[in-house]
Amino acid sequence: MELVKVGILLTIIQNLLGHVSLNLTVVYLKFSNTKAKMLMREKELI
């Protein structure tokens, strides 16, 4: 998530996304990181 990279607090991101649970926001963050790594591997960047 780009917002995390620039230092936005997870609770603020949670609110922006309308998530009741911070756990759901973290799931998206983990998915985003996993997806980025997968794409980088496909492009042989890592």
C-alpha to C-alpha distance for 38 and 46, rounded to whole angstroms: 9
**Residues contacting 12, CB < 8 A, separation 6+:** 3
Is-contact 4 10, C-beta < 8 A?
Answer: yes
Domain ranges of the chain: 2-42
State percent of the chain over pLDDT 70: 83
Checking if the pLDDT of 20 tops 90, the result is yes
Q: What is the pLDDT of residues 5-18, one digit of tens each?
A: 788 888 998 999 99
